[in-house]
Amino acid sequence: MFFAIEPHTFNIDYATLTEKTKNNVIENSWFHRLMYEHDAFTMNGVAINFSLTINKTETSYDKLKHCFSLEDDNNQAVINELTRIEREILAYTTLFEGKTPMFHIENQTKHGFIKLFNGTSRSHKTYSNATTHHTLKTYHMKPRPLYFSQTQDFILKISGIWYNDINYGITYKFEKASKPVNHL
């Protein structure tokens, strides 16, 4: 069973980091897995469920770019919570003193979009709506953006912290939420 927490319930006191391992994604870097340990459960990483009102979806290479208005109060509240979580995790430990934090979630969302892999995530494959049917790539023309206004559910999966000699940041991905999501 898959569980996710609401953004406002995230508590940095429940977070711990495992020993470092070699990062398989970013060259010349290391990775610490994040464990989220509550009295009732332990999560390998942390999954955060949230909703955004999406007004445009574009296909860009192997990703879907879901655009939203920063003027929408709900969208802004969600972005503020996700930014808070990213900042709290990156400030959690002194292991990275002297290195520069990379706020990738904040930098992406402050521009009014989130990116999801197009068709590679398990939950995205099982979640079907008008957006996924109309944003398929073709070989002859670039797909046009799909404009609409629809509240959609997403999951932010944070698996840990990566670092190299200069920088550090969160390892994460956004996914479409499968229905139903069990909240803790």
- Tabulate helix, strand, coil % of the chain (nearest 5): 20, 45, 35
CB 46 within 8 A of CB 88: no
* Distance from C-alpha of 44 to C-alpha of 177, rounded to nearest angstrom: 18
Give 169's strand partners. 102, 162
User: Which residue numbers in the chain have pLDDT < 50?
Assistant: 120-142
CB 71 within 8 A of CB 163: no
pLDDT at 136: 32
Contacts of 121 (CB under 8 A, 6+ apart): 173, 175, 176
Q: Report which of 110, 135, 2 is spatially closest to residue 56, judged by C-alpha positions.
A: 135
* Distance from C-alpha of 94 to C-alpha of 115, rounded to nearest angstrom: 30
* pLDDT single digits (tens) 111-158: 999 999 876 433 333 222 333 333 333 333 345 566 668 899 999 999
* Distance from C-alpha of 162 to C-alpha of 143, rounded to nearest angstrom: 34
pLDDT at 120: 43
pLDDT at 49: 96
Total length of the chain: 184
Q: Report which of 8, 153, 6 is spatially closest to residue 66, judged by C-alpha positions.
A: 153
Phi, psi (rounded to 5 degrees) for 97: -60, 140
CB 158 within 8 A of CB 148: no
pLDDT at 129: 30
